[in-house]
Amino acid sequence: MSVLYADVQWQPVLDAVQQAKQIHIIAHVSPDADTIGSQLAVYHALKAMGKSVVMHNRDIAPYICRYLPAVELITHGEIPDGIACSDVVIAVDAGSLGRLGVDPSYFEGKTLINIDHHASNTQYGSINVIDARYCATGAMIYDLLQYLNIPLDASSAAAIYAAVLTDTASFRLASVSADVHRMTADLIDAGADVELAAQSIYRSHKPARFELLKYALDSLDICHDGRTAWISIAHHLYEKTGLCGEDSEGFIDYARSIEGVDIAVFIREEKPQEWKVSFRAKSPCDVGVVAGKLGGGGHQYAAGCTLFGTLDKVQKEIKHALVDMLSL
C-alpha cells in the first residue's frame, strides 16, 4: 500500500483525534455513498484506535449503502444529547457548513475537522484538509488511515470502495488515475466485495424508479445546438411514484451520455418551487463555476445548486449562468 498524495497535512487531524473525548462523524445532507463510505471508514479507523466515536447525520443513509458494515449504527434527525456532548466533530465530503444541515451554534466550543475534496470548499472547519486532487473523499480517508497507521480491514475497505466507485461514476471520470486503480486493488485485497457492491449499488432499484425514469426521459430537451441536455422532474411525479430524490440518482447520466453534449443538467423539484439542480460537464466546460454563480458549488465535472420558483424561471436562470461557459 502507498498513499495517493504524500504532501497532505494530516498531523492536525491526528492531534485533535488523540485529544478527543468523543468524536462525532457527520456526513452531508442528502447523503451519497462517498460521504457515507467516508464516514464509516473514519468510524472503523477511530474505533481501531480505541476512540469513543458516534455517527449522526440529518438525513437517513441511502438504500445503496445498506450493505456496508456498521451503517445501522448511523442515527439521523435531531442531534440527541449523547451525541451533542462530543468535543470533536469530523465532517466528510461537505463543501460548506450549510451542507451539514445542522444549526451552526452546534459547533461552538467544538473542534470541527473538515475533510473534503470539493475545490469550492469554504474552509469552514477549525482544521481543514481540502484537496481537490482526490477522486473521492473516501480516497482521502484511504490516505488518512495510512497516516494513522491503521491497517485496512474488510469493513473500511468496503466503505472506501463504495465511495470511490460511486464518486468516479464507476471509474469513468478523468479523476481516475493509475494510482486510483492501485488503491482499488488494495481495497479488494483487504476484502472489499466487488460483486456485493455492484449488486447493492447498481442492481437493487425499486421498480417504481423506472416509472419515474420514463417521466424523466420524456422531459429530455437538447439545446444550444446539441451542446446541453436537460432533464427535469416535478415534485408531483415523485409523489405519484412514491419516490424521493435519491431514487432519481444517476438519471443525469442519460443526458450526459448523448453524443455532442458538453453539459448535462438535471433539475428535480424537491419541494414545491424548490429545485435541486445537478450539472455534469465534459472538458473544457467547468460546471463548478456555473454552479458557483448560482449559489452552489462542486467540481469541474460535477456540481449542483438549489434554485426557487417555477421550472421556467429556474431554467432561464441556469441558461443565463451557462452563457460564458458555452462560448469556450
Cα dihedral angle (127, 132, 133, 136), rounded to 10 degrees? 90
Give the 3-state secondary structure of residue 90: strand
Q: Which is nearer to Mn ion, 280 or 317 (by Cβ)? A: 280
Q: What gap in Å lies between CA 195 and CA 29, rounded to an integer?
A: 28
Q: Which is nearer to Mn ion, 170 or 273 (by Cβ)? A: 170
Per CB under 5 A, the list member of 34, 131, 186, 317 interacting with Mn ion is 34
Min dist. Cβ of residue 158 to Mn ion (A): 17
Q: Which is nearer to Mn ion, 169 or 234 (by Cβ)? A: 169
Min dist. Cβ of residue 262 to Mn ion (A): 22
Q: Which is nearer to Mn ion, 167 or 317 (by Cβ)? A: 167
Q: What gap in Å lies between CA 223 and CA 58, rounded to an integer?
A: 37
> b/e per residue, 256-286, with b = 16+ CB within 10 A?
beeeebbbbbbbbbeeeeebbbbbbbbeebb
Size of the site for Mn ion (CB under 5 A): 4
- Give the neighbor-by-neighbor strand order of the sheet with 88-92: 75-76, 53-57, 23-26, 88-92, 111-116, 127-130
Q: What gap in Å lies between CA 39 and CA 57, rounded to an integer?
A: 10
Min dist. Cβ of residue 228 to Mn ion (A): 24
Give the 3-state secondary structure of residue 63: helix
Q: In the range 122-161, which residues lie near Mn ion by CB under 5 A?
A: 137
Span near Mn ion by CB under 5 A; candidates 34-42, 178-186, 224-232, 247-255? 34-42
Min dist. Cβ of residue 93 to Mn ion (A): 4
Q: What gap in Å lies between CA 36 and CA 56, rounded to an integer?
A: 10
Min dist. Cβ of residue 72 to Mn ion (A): 22
Q: In the range 84-103, which residues lie near Mn ion by CB under 5 A?
A: 93
Q: Which is nearer to Mn ion, 31 or 255 (by Cβ)? A: 31
Min dist. Cβ of residue 221 to Mn ion (A): 28
Give the 3-state secondary structure of residue 179: helix
Q: Check binding of 116 to Mn ion (CB under 5 A).
A: no
Residue nearest to Mn ion (CB): 34
Q: What gap in Å lies between CA 167 and CA 193, rounded to an integer?
A: 17
Q: In the range 161-180, which residues lie near Mn ion by CB under 5 A?
A: 167
Positions touching Mn ion (CB under 5 A) are: 34, 93, 137, 167
